Structures are given as C-alpha cells and as structure tokens.
Structure 1
Amino acid sequence: MIPIISTIPLRQMASGDRLSLQVYKFIGAQPGKKVYIQSNLHGAEIAGNAVIHQLIDFLLSINDSDLIGEILLVPVCNPMGTNERAHNFSPGRYCVYEFKDWNRIFWDYEKEADNLASFAKTQLHLDLEMVKQNYRALIQQKFAQLLEKINSPSSVLYTEKFRYQLQSLCLNSDYLIDLHSSTNQGLNYLYYFRDREASAKYFLLDLGIWLDEYDGDAFDEAFIKPWLALEECFKQLGREIQFDIEAWTLELGTGMQMIPNAVAKGLKGIKNYLLQKGVLKIADFNLDNTHSHTMNFKTRSKVTKYYAPVGGMIKSRVELGSEVKAGELIYQILSFNKEGKLPTVIDVCTQANGLVYDISINQSVNEGEFVIGVSS
C-alpha cells in the first residue's frame, strides 16, 4: 500500500528557511474509522519517530484491502522543539519565545461550548452516528473561525498557528494516538480517559494512568474532552451513551533516546489496537491474546512527585518500576552545605504505597527539583 505524502509549511525563520510537517496518509480500500498518530511534540521525546517509521514500513507491506478506513501519520510534528539544543542536550519542551509547554497550547471546544446542554437536548432521540456527525460539524465550524484571526493583519503568536495546523489534521479522526517519552527515565505506559479501560488493554502495556483531572490544553485532552462533556450531558438527560472516539498518549521510554524495547512495545501495541478496533483486517496476523492481558491501572490524581527538599547529589535511589511501601526509603541526597559543617546524607521516604514510574535523569539536584514519581 502506497501512502499519499504531503508537506505542510509551518514557519518561516528569520534566516528565510522554512520549517514544515511531512504527513503520510494511508487510505484503505473500504471506508471506516480515521486514525491520527503523531510523534515528537516535545523535542527530546523521539522514540515515537522510530515507531512511526516502522509503522510506515509495515503499512507499505500490506494491501489496501487490509486497511478499513484511513491512517494519518505525522512524525517530527514539532520541528521547532525537535531542533532546540542546549549544548549536547535536546530540551524542546517549551516554546522558548513564549515560554509555553508545547503540549499545553491546544484549542478546546468544550471551553467555548456554552450551549452544550441545549445542543444535547436537540440530539437526545437521534441515533449515535447522527449525533456524532452533527457534533463534529459544530466543532469544526467553531474551529474554522480561528483562521480569521490568524489571517488578520495583526496575526497571532506562533503557538496559535502551530496548534491550528496540527488540530486541523486530526479533528475529523475517531482515534488519536500521541507518542511521547518521559522527560526523565520512565516506564512504558499510557494515559487514558474515563470509560476507555477496555481499549487501553489493546496496547499491551503494563501500566495505564487514568486522567481523572486535566485542563483540556494538552493535545489528547483537547481532542476528546468535548466528546466526554457531551456524554456527560446525555447522562444528565437520562441517556447513557459512549462515542467510539478515543485519545491516547503513549509514554515510551526515555527522552533523547530511541530505546529498542520501548519502540518495539509501542509498535506492537499500536498494531494490536488497530486490529482490535477493526482498522486492520489481516488474515493470520496474530499478536498476544489481548483479552488475557493484564494491565495495572492507576489514577493521575494519586500520582505523587517527589522534589528535592535540599540541594545536592542523589546518592542512592530505588529502581524504576519498583513497588514501594509507605515509610520506605526511596532516595538519599548527599548535601554539601555551606555552613562550616561536614557533608550530610538526607533520607527521603515514601508517603504512601505505590509504583515508581518516573525518575530524574540528572542526579545533581537543586532544592525543589524533581527526583522521583510514584503512582499509588
């Protein structure tokens, strides 16, 4: 199967050079669901680029009759962040001009939908597919208005142009997958939204963190939050519904690295997800038995991030993936005070039982810097 490849201009730099997106669209022989997959929204988080490359190779090897619907792939979706450097390091988490997190800038329709309850009442007795079509048209109509400001003489900040370009590619999708990595050293896991646990298992990862709290400005949140809000409106009106609309953020390994194991897990999980959702229809193509796969589900609001109480060097620390108990020693800081005293070792213990899912790369910390993340 051969993709349609398109290049979308993003930004002209002061030097005259232009940054662009490259998009790969695979269209199946039969219409169906639309899938959007992007990687590298944060500059240091490059593992997803390898996943998309291998996914492209896989899709090139199958027939268009094996794909039901469309798959849109966008590697290196943020060239500004990807190209950012500080000596040998690739930070790229923030737009340095505006000092905004690249994944906290996106347009959320639900924040502007002051008539959502009224809309839900008009759709109450329609079939689910018709409701979805009507609501999507409403979202896209409102989204199109953003272009008026972008094209006005006063124009807008770059982050607003950037978000418009990315969101214009995915608004009509059914399934969205945003590929990230830990800024530090992290496990392979995913973030998911309410009532989507069954689909979360399709990715064959060991850990899933439910986003029970969010502001709607992240890419996955901005995509699915309006649909969750409409589901809630219908529930209040006495009709239980769930749209077949899903958004996922996969966290694959460590920043600035394409760890083979993390890439393999991401690729395998996406393939299985597409199979289980009916996007891929390939005879004799089997992966692990999804239904027997067990997944450890945690909750975002119960994640505790530990920050250094003093400045110093991390002397010892529990390993990534460890299960810890309340009161257990999880790390020590070697503190070189400037008080005419000998260096001291500060012990830090856990507040509650949990799983160590994220640890800092840098073992030199200033007071108040991140050291370890524990999900209870």
Structure 2
Amino acid sequence: MIPTISTIPIQHLASGDRLDIQVYKFVGTQPGKKVYFQSNLHGAEIVGNAVIHQFIEFLMALDETHLFGEIWLVPVCNPLSTNQRTHFFSTGRYNIYDGKDWNRIFWDYEKEEEELEEFANTQLELEIDEIRKNYLERILLKFQKHLEKIQSPSSVPFSERYRYCLQSLCLDANYVIDLHSSSNQAIDYLYCFQSRENSAKAFLLDYGILMNEYDGDAFDEAFFKPWLALEKKLAELGKPIQFDIDSWTLELGSGMQMNPDSVKKSIFRIKNYLARKSVLKIRGFPLESTDVHLVNFTSKSNIKKYYAPTGGMIQSRVQLGSSIKSGERLYQLLSFNKNGELPTLMDVCSEGDGLVFDVSTNHAVNQGEYVLSVM
C-alpha cells in the first residue's frame, strides 16, 4: 500500500518559519474502522516515532486487501516539544510559553454536554451503530465551533489552536493509540480505562494502570470520556451497551531513547491488537493466547510515588522492574551538610508491596524531588 501524505501547518513563527505535522493515511480496499496513532507529544518521549516509522514500512509492504478500514499515523506530533532542549537534554513536557503540560490541554466534550440524559432517552430503541453515528454528530458539531473561534479576529492561544489540529484528525476514529514513554526510565506498560480490560489483553503487555481517576484533559481521556459517559447513562436507562471504541496510552520504556527491544515488541503488540479488532488480516495474528493473556492492573489511585525526604545523592537503588515487599529498602540517600559533620546515609524503604516501574534519571536530588514509582 502507498499512503496518502498530508502536511498540516500548526504554527507560523515570528522568524517567518513554519512548524508542520505530517499525516500518513493508509486506506484498505475493504470497509472497516478507523485507527489513529500519534507519537512524541512530550519532547523527550521519542520512541513512538521509531514505532510509527516501522509500522509505516510494514503497511507499505502489506496488500491493501488485508486492511479493513483505514489507519492514520502522525509521528513527531509536537515539533515544539520535540525540539526543546536544555544543554544535552530533551525537555518538552511543558509549554514554555504558558507552563501547561502538553498532554493536559485537550478539549473534552463530556464537560460541555448538558443534555446527555435527554439525548440518551431518544436513543433507547436504536441499534448501537446508529447511536454512535448520532452521538458523533453532536460531538463534531460542538467541535466545529472551536474552528470558528480560531478564525475570528480575536483568535485563541496557541495551545487551543494546536489541540484543534490534533483532535480534528481523530474524533471520528474507533481506536486511538497515543505512544509515550517515561521522561525518566521505565518499563513498558499501558493506561487502560475501566470496562476495557479485556481489550487491553490484545497488546500482550504484562502491566497496566487502570484509570479510575483522571488528571484532566489528557489526549486519551478527551477522546474517550464522552463515550464512557454515554455508555454509563444508557446503562442507567436500561440499555447496557459497549461501543467499539478504545483509547490507549502505551508507555514504551525510557525517555530520550529508542530502545530497539521496546520498538520491536510494540510493533508485534500493535499488530496483534489490530488483528484482534479485525482491522488487519495477517498471518499468525491474533495469537491464540490473546484472550487468556494476563495483564497485571494497578489502579491509578494506588500508584505510589517516592520523593526525596532530604537533598543528596541516590545510591544502592533497587533495579527498575524489581518486585519489592513492604519495608524493603528502595534506595539509600547520601546526604551532605555544611554543619561540620560527616555525610550521612539514609535508607528509604517501601511503604507497601509492588513493582518498581519508573525511576528518575538523575541520581542527584534536592529535597522533594522525584525518585521512583511503585505499582
């Protein structure tokens, strides 16, 4: 297959230069569902770009009759964050103009839907595909007003213009996959919404964080929360259904790295997921073991982050991916002083059982700075 390639301008700079994103669209000969991928929303989280590149190569070698529907891919979806540097280090988690996290700016229709119960009542006698079509029309109609504001004389801040560019590409998708990594060092895992645990098995990951609370306005949340809200309301009215719609954040290892193992495994996992969803028809997929694959889920509210109780240097830290028991030492903190006293070593121990899934890159910490996370 040969993709259709679209270049979309996102910002015109004072220097006269222009920042763009590029969309690769693969369309099969068979009708089906729409899949949307993006990567590198945060500047240091580059591994998803390698995943998308290799997936583009895979699709180009695939016969178009084996794709049911269409797949849209957007690598380097945030050039502003990708190009942000401090010395040798990629930063790019926050917009330096307004201080906002790039993944906390997105428009959530659920927050503006004031007549959900009234709408749901009008859909009780309809089939699920018709309900999806009707609800999507409401979302898109409301979303269109944002473009009107962007084009008005007063316009909008850049973050609103940028989010419009990305969300305009995916609001009508069935499946959204946002490729991230830790900004530090981490294992591979995913974020999963409640009620989609069974779908998560198809990614063949061992660990997942179950979304029972929300930071607010993240890309995966903004796409999926309206559909979850409608499912919940319909269930309350006696019509329990589940739309064929998913939203995922895949966390693929460490920041500022393109780990070949994470890339290779991610390609395999995504193929398995899309074959399980009948988007791809490819030999060997989905694996027969998919439906019995065990994902170890931890509720987001149960994630424990550890911060330095005092300033110093981290040493003797447990390895990333280690299972730990309550009371077990997580790390030692070598602390210096200016009181004419010898340096001290402080043991920091775990407050509970779990798995160390994310650790800081810097082994020097000021008091209150992040050290590691346990799920």
TM-score, normalization by structure 2: 0.98
Matches within 5 A, 1:113-262: 113-262=113-262
- 1:341 deviates by 1.6
1:205, 1:265 within 8 Å by CA — same for their partners in 2?
no
Q: Secondary structure at the match of 2:367?
A: coil
Q: Within 1, Cα distance between the matches of 2:231 and 2:53?
A: 35
Q: Which residue of 2 aligns with 1:370?
A: 370
| Paired residue type of 1:53 | H
Determine if the alignment matches structure 1 residue 104 to structure 2 residue 104.
yes
Q: CA deviation at 1:54?
A: 0.3
Once structures 1 and 2 are overlaid, which stretch shifts more, 81-90 or 206-215?
206-215
| Cα displacement (A) at 1:286 | 6.2
What amino acid is the match of 1:26? F
Matched, 1:334 2:341: no
Amino acid at match of 1:320: L
Answer with 37-46 or 148-157: which moved more: 148-157
| Alpha-carbon shift at residue 294 of structure 1 (Å) | 2.2
CA-CA distance at 1:285 after TM superposition: 5.3
Contact persistence 1:216–1:225 (CA under 8 A): no
Letter in 2 for 1:295: V
**Which deviations, in whole Å up to 9, do the C-alpha atoms of 1:59-108 show, x marking residues without a partner?**
00011100000000000000000000101001010110011100000000
**One-letter code of the match for 2:93?**
R
Find the aligned partners of 1:197 and 1:216 in 2 and give their Cα distance.
21
> CA contact under 8 A between 2:198 and 2:291: conserved in structure 1?
no
Q: What does residue 266 of structure 2 align with?
A: 266
* Residue 8 (str. 1) matches residue 8 (str. 2): yes
User: Bigger CA drift: 243-252 or 148-157?
Assistant: 148-157
Q: Are the aligned partners of 2:328 and 2:350 in contact in 1 as well (CA < 8 Å)?
A: yes
Q: Which amino acid aligns with 1:356?
A: V
Q: Distance in 1 between matches of 2:117 and 2:287?
A: 42
Greater Cα shift, 20-29 or 200-209: 200-209
Residue range with higher mean Cα deviation, 167-176 or 322-331: 322-331
What are the Cα deviations for residues 134-183 of structure 1, in whole angstroms up to 9, with x where unaligned? 00000000000011111111111111000000000000000000000101
Are the counterparts in 2 of residues 190 and 250 from structure 1 also a CA contact under 8 Å?
Answer: yes
Residues 285 and 110 of structure 1, relative CA distance in 2, 3 Å threshold: closer
Count of residue correspondences: 375
Q: Tell which deviates more after alignment, 268-277 or 147-156.
A: 147-156
Q: Deviations over 1:267-325 (max 9, x none)?
A: 11111101110000124556573234322111111000000010110021111111111
Contact 2:306–2:371 (CA under 8 A) maintained in structure 1: yes
Aligned mates of 1:173, 1:189 — CA distance in 2:
23
What code does the residue aligned with 2:199 have? Answer: S
Determine the C-alpha separation between the residues in 1 that align with 2:309 and 2:115. Answer: 47
Distance in 2 (alpha carbons) for counterparts of 1:113 and 1:180 = 29
Match of 1:89 in 2: 89
Unmatched 5+ residue regions in structure 2? none
- Distance, in Å, in 1 between the alignment partners of 2:145 and 2:285 is 44
Q: Counterpart of 2:183 in structure 1: which amino acid?
A: T
Q: 1:145 is paired with a residue of what secondary structure?
A: helix
Cα pair distance change 1:286/1:148, threshold 3 Å: closer
Show structure 1 runs of 5+ residues with no match. none
Partners of 1:333 and 1:317 lie apart in 2 by 9
The amino acid that maps onto 1:90 is S
**CA RMSD in angstroms, aligned pairs only:** 1.1
One-letter identity of the residue aligned with 2:57: D
Q: How far apart, CA to CA, are the structure 1 residues paired with 2:205 and 2:288?
A: 11
The one-letter code matched in structure 2 to 1:265 is: K
Letter in 1 for 2:252: L
1:303 alignment partner in structure 2: 303
